[in-house]
Structure 1
Amino acid sequence: MKVTWTYDRGNQRDNHEVELSDPAALEALLREIQQAGEPVVLTIFSDTADDPDDLPPGMQIGLGHPTHAFAVHIADDGSYLTDPTAETPAAGLRFDFGGVPTEYPAEHLQHRPETAIQLAVAFLRTGGEPPRLAAAE
Structure 2
Amino acid sequence: MKVTWTYDRGDQRDNHEVELTDPDALEALLREIQQAGEPVVLTIFSDTSDPDDLPPGIQIGLGHPTHAFAVHIADDGGYLNDPTVETPTEGVRFDFGGVPTDYPAEHVQLRPETAIQLAVTYLRTGGEPPRLATIAK
> C-alpha displacement at 1:87, in angstroms?
1.1
Per the alignment, residue 125 of structure 1 pairs with 124
Secondary structure of the residue aligned to 1:91 is: coil
Aligned residues: 135
What CA distance in whole angstroms lies between the structure 2 residues aligned with 1:65 and 1:4?
18
What CA distance in whole angstroms lies between the structure 1 residues aligned with 2:100 and 2:54?
18
> C-alpha displacement at 1:47, in angstroms?
2.5
Per the alignment, residue 84 of structure 1 pairs with 83
Cα deviation per residue 1:87-128 (whole Å; 9 max; x = unaligned)? 110001100000000000000001000000000000000000
Q: Aligned ranges for residues 63-102 of structure 1 at < 5 Å?
A: 63-102=62-101
> C-alpha displacement at 1:49, in angstroms?
6.8
* Structure-2 change in CA distance of 1:103 and 1:55 (3 Å): farther
Q: CA RMSD in A?
A: 1.5
TM-score by length of 2: 0.94
Per the alignment, residue 5 of structure 1 pairs with 5
Per the alignment, residue 40 of structure 2 pairs with 40
Secondary structure of the residue aligned to 1:5 is: strand
> C-alpha displacement at 1:48, in angstroms?
2.9
TM-score by length of 1: 0.94
Any conservation in 2 of the 1:59–1:72 contact (CA below 8 Å)? yes
* Structure-2 change in CA distance of 1:102 and 1:21 (3 Å): same
Where does the alignment leave 5 or more consecutive residues of structure 1 unmatched? none
What CA distance in whole angstroms lies between the structure 1 residues aligned with 2:54 and 2:44?
10
Letter in 2 for 1:122: T
What is the percentage of aligned positions where both structures have the same residue? 85
Secondary structure of the residue aligned to 1:96 is: strand
> C-alpha displacement at 1:56, in angstroms?
2.0
Structure 1 stretches of 4+ with a deviation exceeding 4 A read none
> C-alpha displacement at 1:135, in angstroms?
6.9
> C-alpha displacement at 1:134, in angstroms?
2.1
Any conservation in 2 of the 1:59–1:71 contact (CA below 8 Å)? yes
Where does the alignment leave 5 or more consecutive residues of structure 2 unmatched? none
Any conservation in 2 of the 1:6–1:98 contact (CA below 8 Å)? yes
